Structure 1
Amino acid sequence: MTEPTRGTRAAMPLHWKIAIGFVVGLGLGLFVHYGIGADAEWVQALTRYATTPFSQLFLSLIFMLIVPLLFSALVVGVSEMGDIGALGRIGWRTLAWTILLSGLAVLLGLVMVNLFKPGAGVDPALAQQLLTEGAERAQAIVRDSTQQPKGMDMLLSIVPQNVIGAASNNANILALMFFALMFGVGLVLTQTPQTAVLKRGIEGLFEISMTLIGLVIRLAPYAVFCFMFNLAVLFGWDLLLRLGQFVLVVVGALVIHMVVTYSLALRLVAGWSPLAFFRGVQEAMLMAFSTASSNATLPTALRVADDNLKLPKKVSRFVLTIGATANQNGTALFEGVTVIFLAQFFNVDLSLGQQVMVMLVCILGGIGTAGVPSGSLPVVALICAMVGVPPEGIGLVLGVNHFLDMCRTTVNVAGDLGIAALVSRGESDSGPDIAAA
């Protein structure tokens, strides 16, 4: 029997590589921002021709594979349930937990923003400067918000007239998921040798997608370095400190919701150890924080659910693919806090009824928001217009939005995995090895 070669070491886990890239990129970016300055020619050339293109290339590679991954994962997840009864049970439980946790998130955010009133303490000179600097982008966001479907049109848009068109547009990913859901139902109802072959083919598509994404994910530590370097070089800590009250209210509410609400639900309902759960999902949370995209984090979340949490695949593939777009607790919380923050800044007194309407629309907005960076801003502008708050005020928070986007995406992804764990209780193979108290 051959002995293992001496001196060989196990490869460093990916999440540690990502963490190193995160810390090094952030530290180097802050050093350049405060020690050299973002206006230096070589710094601008580095971000324009190296770090920004590489980070965009990484996201493009992920998004290129998201459509086949979403479609195949959802179809396989539905077809593996074996009967419509199981689909209905898991589907309704997923929907119930999504609405409940989103509602609690928005309620927590509204309580905190009304308690601390961050919009009343913004320096007028700083606000005018930020509004002027972000005027062009804010106008584009407002124009985009007017093109968003509303009311009944929003519900009807979930059913696509053209599946290919829906698949080509990340903003209409719900329509693609609806088609995949119906396709999976068709596979369950049509038990023939031909559909069995088709199912194996779609399973092969899922495996190929995961393999290709696994190759792309190897670039994640370098992409995370570029993300954090760009963020730190351009913004430093200045703007976060100058809008400190708003940032603290958003981040504080997100932390409370993730640490307290999720932990109580996992412990009381599913019998999970919160510490073990968060330890198991740390890689997905770090990827979510770095990319600020639920869709880009979906492959990592699927792998974490299988390898670390040991959840039933039929549940995790269904809940996580749906949740990448339809379960965004952190986004709903951010939208509610931002709307009330802008109302406070512009001295718009919102009644209790209007704030309840904001809460309900934010829950729907969290479900319908695209799982891409800054996908919630048009929804915020839309809600502002609904309650009489100037939507152009969105320019006030553009400078800190990317950091807050990273934070709320982390809560979104943790919520997806948390709901998958909650729904898995009572399903086959749902007893996770690491969930013992």
Structure 2
Amino acid sequence: MSHAAATVTPPERGLALHWKVLIGFAVGIIGGAIAYLAGPQSAIVSGLVDYVAAPGGQLFLNLLFMLVLPLMFTALILGVTEIGDIASLGRIGWRTLIYTGVVTSIAIAIGLLVVHLIEPGRAFDPAVRDALLAGSAQKAHAITDSKPTLSVIEMILGIVPRNVVKAASNGDFLAVMFFAIMLGVALVLTPTPATQRFREAIQGLNELVMKLIGMVVKLTPYAVACLMFALTARFGWDTLMTLAWYAFSVLLAIAIHGFVVLPLWVRFMGGMSPRRFFRDSQEAILTAFSTASSTGTLPTTLKCAEQNLRLPPKVARFVLTIGASANHHGTALFEGLTVLFLVQCFGVELGWVQQIMVLGLCILGSIGTAGVPAGSLPVIAMILTYLHVPPEAIGIILGVDRFLDMCRTALNVTGDLATAVVVARREGADTTEEAPAAG
């Protein structure tokens, strides 16, 4: 049983989380706008921002950062061990791996291109940027003035840690990710009872971390209200306009990949009409959009693949189960675009080598991303740390992240199904056969 399937959570009762987040977003903005009109320098407004809203939002971020290392470490090990099933499935496994890598790279490249063309972070007020580092002015200047100037050789050598514990304590998550991948490879190559028990222990730790993330995510509406109130009360509408441009950039990149790249891929590599593909996949795509969880959507995704798209069960079950934990087109695109947006906000210039490193980190990060709402935020925080940008910067995007999370999850599931169609065609299945519409 894959760790993707093990993380499925039961549906929430009462008001859905995305509606709660939307309410928190509205409350924060309206309250912040009123406070800004009343005077951001007044004692009451300053007290609310400095002693209520800002600490409340920071507490949420600290809880999230606390889980970054164990989440990335365990998820990458489990992801590699699941992909390790490639050895037993031969061509299907290798094709899944290659197609996932290629199309995920295209998705990230689209995100990077869009953020370069629109540059939503360039107009970001430096005062807002420095406020995110409140209480540490010296650190703010050190971070905003720093530039990643490592050579290619130094970056490659830095990937392999001499001391993985020291690397973890120093926040060098790239080195920790490399160690996790190597550990996963060793687990695949050493199928003994002892290593199986170790994998089960890693699985247990991953499930505990996922449970904690689920508990923290329930605080998102309150954190969004606090963060939006603090930003709007201090800086007014300019911050919201920057967020609007950022959200537009994400949606544009998702639309290009979802409605241009994937249909062309399905048509020319999978031999299937895009119209039929979207018609027969709509139930899974809509479920993914409404739940913002690719793992929670997995049963519906499998049903659409086998009953509607008529894909061979062997191909569908392998590709989609792996895809729920490792084939995250939308997540990878979002992570790359968001990282560059925040890098722009903080005035850090990245060369092409660093941006290629970001692409690679996003591919690895999408493998280790939890398939639950807000699962990509810890990965973004990790990448920001590597680029010398404060991970607290993700507080800027929390207000609009929930809706964007729903959109990128829908793209994740669409990408999974598209990959299954292509792999099935390459394995000789007849994907041109029409199937009755899902009903």
| TM-score, reference length from structure 2 | 0.64
Deviation at 1:212, TM superposition (A): 2.1
Distance in 2, matches of 1:98 and 1:142, equals 30
Counterparts in 2 of 1:308 and 1:14: CA distance versus 1, 3 Å: farther
Q: 1:159 to 1:378 in 2, by over 3 A?
A: closer
Distance 1:107 1:74, change over 3 A: closer
C-alpha displacement at 1:188, in angstroms? 1.2
Aligned to 1:197: 197
Confirm or deny that 1:22 pairs with 2:25.
yes
CA deviation string 1:207-235 (max 9, x = no partner): 11122222222222211211211121111
Are 1:362 and 2:355 an aligned pair? yes
State the secondary structure of the residue aligned to 2:67.
helix
Letter in 2 for 1:30: A
Given candidates 321, 330, 336, the residue that maps to 2:337 is: 330
1:351-405 residue CA offsets vs partner (Å, 9 max, x unmatched): xxxxxx9566534345458944696599599xxxxxxxxxxxxxxxxxx997579
- More displaced stretch, 216-225 vs 414-423: 414-423
The correspondence for 2:34, drawn from 12, 31, 35, is: 31
Tell me the alpha carbon deviations over residues 51-108 of structure 1, each in whole angstroms, 9 at most, x when there is no partner. Answer: 2222211122222222222222222222234244677554443332233223233334
Shift of 1:237: 0.5
One-letter code aligned to 2:256: V
2:72 touches 2:177 (CA, 8 Å); kept in 1? yes
| Contact 2:76/2:181 (8 A) holds in 1 | yes
Secondary structure of 1:328's counterpart equals: helix
- Residues 237-281 of structure 1: per-residue CA shift (max 9 Å, x gap): 14666xx7xx87665443321223333334444645697677545
> What corresponds to 1:318 in structure 2?
326
* Equivalent in the alignment of 2:53: 51
1:371 and 1:145 map into 2 onto residues whose CA distance is: 21
User: Is the 1:26–1:225 contact (alpha carbons within 8 Å) kept by the matching residues of 2?
Assistant: yes
CA distance in 2, matches of 1:225, 1:128: 22
TM-score for the superposition, normalised by structure 1:
0.64
Could you say which residue in structure 1 is the equivalent of 2:161? 160
Aligned partner of 1:40 in structure 2 is 42
| CA displacement 1:186-216 (0-9 Å, x = unmatched) | 1111111111211221111111112222222
In the alignment, which residue of structure 1 is the partner of 2:420?
426
CA contact (8 A) 2:115 2:337 kept: no
2:259 corresponding residue in structure 1: 263
Contact 2:224/2:399 (8 A) holds in 1:
no
Q: Give the partner amino acid of 2:165.
A: I
Change (3 A) 1:38 1:279: farther
Gaps of 5+ in 1: 1-8, 286-300, 344-356, 382-399
Q: How many residue pairs align between the two structures?
A: 363
The one-letter code matched in structure 2 to 1:58 is F
Offset of 1:118 from its aligned partner? 12
Q: Which residue of 1 aligns with 2:219?
A: 219
User: Aligned in 2, Cα 1:140/1:53: closer, same or farther, shift over 3 Å?
Assistant: same
Between the aligned partners of 1:129 and 1:426, the Cα distance in structure 2 is: 47
1:11 is paired with a residue whose SS is: coil
Report matched runs for 1:38-437 at 5 Å.
38-81=40-83, 82-84=85-87, 89-111=95-117, 139-146=141-148, 149-170=150-171, 172-238=172-238, 252-269=248-265, 271-272=277-278, 279-282=286-289, 303-304=295-296, 306=298, 312-319=320-327, 328-331=335-338, 334=341, 361-368=354-361, 371-372=379-380, 403=396, 418=411, 421-423=414-416, 425-426=419-420
- The unaligned stretches of length 5 or more in structure 2 are 1-11, 267-276, 303-318, 363-377, 425-436
Question: 1-side partners of 2:32 and 2:190: how far apart?
Answer: 56
Inter-partner Cα distance in structure 1 for 2:258 and 2:355: 19
